[in-house]
Amino acid sequence: MTQFDGQATQQLFEKNLITENQFKEIKEYRSLNIFSLNVELKLLLSISVLMFTSGIGILIYDNIDSIGHIALLAILFALICGCFYYCFKNSKGFQKTETTTESHFLEYIVLTANVLTCIFIGYLQVQYEVFGTHYGLATLVPTIVSFFCAYYFDNKSVLTIAVTGLAAYVGLSVTPQDIFNGNNNFYANQSLSYSAIMLGVLLILWTVYSFKIKLKTHFTLVYLTFALHIISIASISNLYSYDLSWILFSLVLAVSSYYFYKVSHQLKAISLYVFMIIYAYIGFNIFLFKIFEHADFDDIWVLFVMLLPAYFIGSIVLFIKLIKKFNKEIAE
């Protein structure tokens, strides 16, 4: 038993929060030095699903001429049916609250079935154009399937795919490469920015409604994480615009930061809190530069350069203090 755990247990005993027998049992259990492999096993299972679905994609790409489209589609369809048969057989069905299951592999079989379904529908559209020129349907249909699977089987991984598909249907690309390469083109296409912000707002409203009707409230963090990133990135991207619209997006970012500041404390979600601070800090600095564009630095340029290191060091110190304060607040 580590010194920290021993002190924490001793304090609980001294405050009469646990009995003497419980204190002894805790000490005996911790002295066994038992540790959990749950996280490692889940990681290996996730990697297995990723490698399996990637292997299916490589198989289709490398053997499309020799095997044939119909045969590949038949194999995919058989795999999907087998996965969903196992899922429906071993699941407890739809429940409004968080669902627990005795099958440790069900979550990953659901994820596999969902990814294969997306591949199957995409393959049909590319090869046979089953949706004609309505290419958005090729994104919307697997998105609907993903939402159904996420809620029916209570799967957060599939919910992530569903929200990503919904963003893609709106016209957003949410991969890191697209964000940093500017492929979302928020700056050149402001209508896309408005669509992104509206999507983020809808995700927030859905979480509020879900809490009201008590429907899968543990999905809240997934929705809010997407909403935070989408709204913040869309707003920050438009702070560089030369027209007055940057003022509007500054207000959107400010309101968004305040909302996620409050909700991160309510949910005790440090991930929301950290990213909220980062986005707010970036937006605040861009806002300052926009203001300073109209200032004359000829007389104070040297002083401004000298103060910059102190400003950034102070920002780092403030960031650390905010994180410590947040951890202390949620611990209490």
Same-domain check for residues 128 and 217: no
Other Cβ atoms less than 10 A from the Cβ of 69: the count is 15
Each residue of 236-283: pLDDT tens digit? 988 877 677 788 899 999 999 999 999 999 999 999 999 999 999 999
Same-domain check for residues 227 and 125: no
What is the pLDDT at residue 65? 62
* CB burial string 298-321: b at 16+ within 10 A, e below: eeeeeeeeeeeeeeeeeeeeeeee
Same-domain check for residues 130 and 100: yes
Same-domain check for residues 62 and 145: yes
Q: Is residue 323 part of a domain?
A: yes
- Higher pLDDT, residue 321 or 328: 321
Same-domain check for residues 105 and 225: no
What is the pLDDT at residue 142? 92
What is the pLDDT at residue 63? 66
DSSP 84: H
What is the pLDDT at residue 180? 44
What is the pLDDT at residue 74? 87
Same-domain check for residues 285 and 268: yes
Same-domain check for residues 123 and 24: no
What is the pLDDT at residue 75? 84
Same-domain check for residues 136 and 216: no
Q: Is the pLDDT of residue 229 over 60?
A: yes
Distance between CA atoms of 157 and 180, rounded to whole angstroms? 24
What is the pLDDT at residue 244? 72
Query: What percentage of the chain reaches a pLDDT higher than 90?
Result: 37
The packing angle between helices 245-267 and 301-331, to 10°, is: 30
Query: What percentage of the chain reaches a pLDDT higher than 70?
Result: 80
Same-domain check for residues 96 and 165: yes
State the total domains in the chain: 4
Q: Is residue 175 part of a domain?
A: no
Q: Is residue 176 part of a domain?
A: no
What is the pLDDT at residue 301? 67
Q: Is the pLDDT of residue 84 over 90?
A: yes
Each residue of 289-316: pLDDT tens digit? 887 776 666 666 667 777 788 888 999 9
Same-domain check for residues 152 and 204: no
Q: Is residue 47 part of a domain?
A: yes
Same-domain check for residues 245 and 258: yes
Indicate the pLDDT class of residue 284, thresholds 50, 70 and 90.
very high
Each residue of 26-71: pLDDT tens digit? 777 777 666 566 666 666 767 777 787 777 777 766 766 666 778 7
Provide the whole-model pTM.
0.80
Q: Which of 122, 151, 170 is the last residue of a domain?
A: 170
Task: Give the least confident one: 17-31, 56-70, 143-157, 211-225.
Answer: 56-70
The C-alpha R_g of the chain, in whole angstroms, comes to 25
Same-domain check for residues 285 and 266: yes
Q: Is residue 11 part of a domain?
A: yes
- Residue-number span of the structural domain to which 3 is assigned: 1-35
